[in-house]
Amino acid sequence: MVDLSKIKIITIAGLVTLLLGSCTTDSPVDAKLNDTNIPVAVSSPPIEDVLPVPSASQLEWQEAELVMFLHYGMNTMRRTDLGTGQEHPSEFNPEVVNVKQWVKVAKDAGFKYLILTAKHHDGFCLWPSEFTTHSIKNSPYKGGKGDILKELADECKEQGLKFGFYISVWDMNSPYYGTPEYNNYYRNQLKEVCSRYSDIGEIWLDGYLGKNPVMTHPQIDWLTFVQITKWLQPSSLMAIMGPDIRWVGNEDGYGTETDWSFDWSHPAFHGISNVQVWWPTECDVSIRPLWFYNEAENSQVKTPKYLANLYLKSVGRNSNLLLNVPPTPEGVIHEIDESYLRTWRKILDNMFERDLLLNMESYADNIRNNDTLYSPGMAVDNNKATFWAVDPDRRSGELIVDVVPTRKINIFRIEEPIKFGQRVKEFEIWGYSNNQWIKLTQGTTIGRSRILQLDTPLYVSKVKLVIKDARGAPAIRSFNAYFYEL
């Protein structure tokens, strides 16, 4: 007779085995409930939110992981990182601006978003702005009829990437900068770009405000900028000096070991104070020493191996990586940069190609409501819609996965289902080797993605994820292990 009380904690494959009368597999040390080979065509039911939670746009952005920055404009022609605002529009005279190549290079390297410097600190606009003469409309490019924002937005749509722009608040060309009148000037420019180009993914507002001889501290009306943008582009994300994406705090491309995707609200961006809001971090860095292209730096492009380490220290620390790849004065991404990006993509693909825990037999000390759809196998099934979860009143849990045959491991990747909030506060990873459990590594937050490298690879027959503390009942979307020598 089949014991129906046990059906909730075994897989469908296991149920078939049980009905056929086969023997069950022994559980490893400390395991209480086991599960294997859950069909992938399922999703785990929703669990209670642990506030705050991301918006749909924020969730899509975090899942994208990679954003390409394109610093291009008047500074490109002048081979400088910082203009003066006194340039003449005629100096912007590229024969070709190959946006098709920009987008293809980005897409092939795995980027999902592109951000162009529509206006840098010099105030020169890459769209035909009605509110300044310091614009592409007064340049020789396409006889003054060019609009590089439109060209790039259209190409992003064609190739399936999200388009975004950087529009500097500091404007060295505007006589209004540093006065209350400048807010109206900047609002007008925001209205232009937000109404002319559809489906803007990310808008980057720089906090670098420079200096003004009239006012040391420019009176910037950030909240009005936010309100205008959200009115015209409600699903767009406003980064850095905005309510949706936070700056990580450096320009080295590194995230922090402890990274929560939420923070306390800022009245200048959110309109309220002392409320926890979803506000994930972004790590910005340039593939070259400076932000705009200069041929003198062709020998200083960050190598594919360096970029791979950046990925581990940004995306692997619950942030997105915003990598600047500046086009040349000839309007293309340089062949060195392009080649390095392609090799970097191959490194990442090879690094995560073979998950040594995929569909391995797994065990947990607790399964939420003893429901198969929250079983430990959901964390090793390569299905982003499923996850292992524990009972609502718990703040800890243990997940054990067999490694058959014994394998050498040096990289772990863990993900939470952050659509329901970020939970884990402290965790450890253990390996079973030479008949004993050995603590391999530990950490604090997990979030969208946590990647950990071991100093020394180890052969293990089992691995154990121990959630020691959490803000709510722990849930793990993915638990992966790899071996790759970087």
Taking only the tens place, the pLDDT of each residue in 395-449 is 999 999 999 999 999 999 999 999 999 999 999 999 999 999 999 999 999 999 9
Q: What is the DSSP string of 126-162?
A: SS--TT-SSBGGGSSGGGGT--HHHHHHHHHHHHT-E
pLDDT for res 211: 72
* Predicted confidence (pLDDT) at residue 484 exceeds the cutoff of 90: yes
pLDDT tens for each residue of 185-229: 999 999 999 999 989 999 999 999 887 655 455 689 999 999 999
Pick the last residue of a domain from 305, 324, 351. 351
Residues 6+ away with beta carbon under 8 Å from 341: 105, 108, 109, 287, 304, 307, 325
Within-domain flag for 199: yes
Pick the last residue of a domain from 285, 317, 351. 351
The CATH number of whichever domain residue 407 belongs to comes to 2.60.120.260
Which residue is it, tokens 């505007």? 174
Which residue is it, tokens 């399922």? 42
* Predicted confidence (pLDDT) at residue 232 exceeds the cutoff of 50: yes
pLDDT for res 219: 82
Q: What radius of gyration do the chain's Cα atoms show? A: 25
Pick the last residue of a domain from 323, 351, 379. 351
pLDDT for res 179: 86
* Predicted confidence (pLDDT) at residue 323 exceeds the cutoff of 50: yes
The CATH number of whichever domain residue 174 belongs to comes to 3.20.20.80
Within-domain flag for 105: yes
Q: 209 with 265, same domain?
A: yes
Per cent of the chain over pLDDT 70 is 90
Number of domains in the chain: 2
* Predicted confidence (pLDDT) at residue 149 exceeds the cutoff of 90: yes
The backbone torsions φ and ψ at residue 155, rounded to the nearest 5 degrees and listed phi first, read -70, -35
Within-domain flag for 54: no
Domain extent at residue 184: 65-351
pLDDT tens for each residue of 280-294: 999 999 999 999 999
Q: 318 with 366, same domain?
A: no
Within-domain flag for 59: no
| In contact, 11 and 19? CB cutoff 8 Å | no
What are the start-end ranges of the E strands in 64-107? 66-70
pLDDT for res 174: 96
| In contact, 284 and 252? CB cutoff 8 Å | no
Within-domain flag for 58: no
Q: 79 with 195, same domain?
A: yes
For the segment 138-160, the average pLDDT, to the nearest whole number, is 98
Q: 222 with 210, same domain?
A: yes
In angstroms, rounded to a whole number, what is the distance separating the alpha carbons of residues 474 and 416?
8
CA 309 to chain centre: 15
Decide: pTM greater than 0.85.
Answer: yes
Which residue is it, tokens 């996850």? 387
